[in-house]
Amino acid sequence: MFLEQGIKPENSFWKYLIGSIFIITASFIGQIPFSLAVYFNYNGEGAFPTDSDSAFKIFDPNVTLFLVMASFAFAFVGIWFIVRYLHHQTLLSITTSREKVDWNRILFSFLLWSFFSILSFFFLYFNAPENFVWNFKLVPFLILVVIGSILIPIQTTTEEYVFRGYLMQGFANLARNKWFPLLMTSLIFGSMHWFNPEVTKMGNIIMIYYIGTGLFLGIITLMDEGMELALGFHAANNLVGALLVTSDWTVFQTHSIFKDLSELSAGFDVILPVVVVYPILLFIFSKKYNWTNWEERLTGKINNIESSN
């Protein structure tokens, strides 16, 4: 089973703390090219901008996307190194309980959430078309497709390996149950979005969405005994969003098809995915993959066993 694969006597929780620091350090190293580019290009003054929002708007959106997303490749290498040499596990062991990665699961989840995302966007578009403008430019968009299709899945995969893979098993080693890893990874995942500009503009209510999304991703990982479904969902969420619509209040803009001109405000649409859409997705996944024994899989205790990996 998925969490049990990381349960080993030598996998003390302090190793996960050291591993997390190593992964964060690798991520910072990956951000050096972007930081240097900002430093030497900001108004020609050789100084950093006073706010992160200005930093993301210095370059063409495609250049910014490339520089920001590329840093996640360093973090991914950091994950592989820590898993292999500190924990003496395979990358597969923090990915899934199956003998190999189930790409059909990833694809199904990706297509399902892409459909929901596109459908929800056009619902908003036809409900208030005045809030959107046509932003499509062929060449920049095609470049965005290439960069996004390669680097955004690297970004989302890295985040899933950190939260639903590495830390999920780490907290399982600490607590020897399933509810604590689910809760902690969801809270940490949501908190990582605390400094996004949306939080400043919409208030703390948006954290319901971020933490709720982390909880949803954790649930489908535990119920499915692997994070393939989470990998597909996360990739679809970020990639479709980057290609379909951009706005001035996001962290960085893209050469997307549409641009959202509406004023950012917190409403029921923030909570809707958590209380309505995610339960629908859970129902679809549960029927397709025959999930049973929900209480045990989400809250049960973990036996003190050593993985064969």
What are the residue ranges spanned by the domains of the chain? 3-299
User: Model's pTM, two decimal places?
Assistant: 0.92
pLDDT attached to residue 308: 39
Q: What is the 3-state secondary structure (H, E, C) of the chain?
A: CCHHHHCCCCCCHHHHHHHHHHHHHHHHHHCHHHHHHHHHHCCCCCCCCCCHHHHHCCCCHHHHHHHHHHHHHHHHHHHHHHHHHCCCCCHHHHCECCCCCCHHHHHHHHHHHHHHHHHHHHHHHHHCHHHEEECCCHHHHHHHHHHHHHHHHHHHHHHHHHHHHHHHHHHHHHHCECHHHHHHHHHHHHHCCCCCHHHHHHCCCHHHHHHHHHHHHHHHHHHHCECHHHHHHHHHHHHHHHHHEEECCCCCCCCCCEEECCCCCCCHHHHHHHHHHHHHHHHHHHHHHCCCCHHHHHHCECCCCCCCC
Partners of 247 in the beta sheet? 260
pLDDT tens, position by position, 259-294: 998 876 666 677 888 999 999 999 999 999 999 999
Give the model confidence (pLDDT) of 136-182 as tens digits: 999 999 999 999 999 999 999 999 999 999 999 999 999 999 999 99
Say what the pLDDT of residue 1 is: 86
**Distance between CA atoms of 252 and 260, rounded to whole angstroms?**
13
CB atoms within 10 A of CB 68: 19
* pLDDT tens per residue, range 11-20: 999 999 999 9
- Average model confidence (pLDDT) for the chain? 90
Rg from Cα positions in the chain: 20
Residue with the bigger pLDDT between 49 and 298: it is: 298
pLDDT at 306 over 80: no
pLDDT at 52 over 60: no
Q: Please name which of 160, 159, 151 lies closest in space to residue 101, comparing C-alpha atoms.
A: 160
> What digits encode the pLDDT tens for the residues 78-101?
999 999 999 999 999 999 999 999
Our CA angle for 112, 115, 121, nearest 5°, is 140
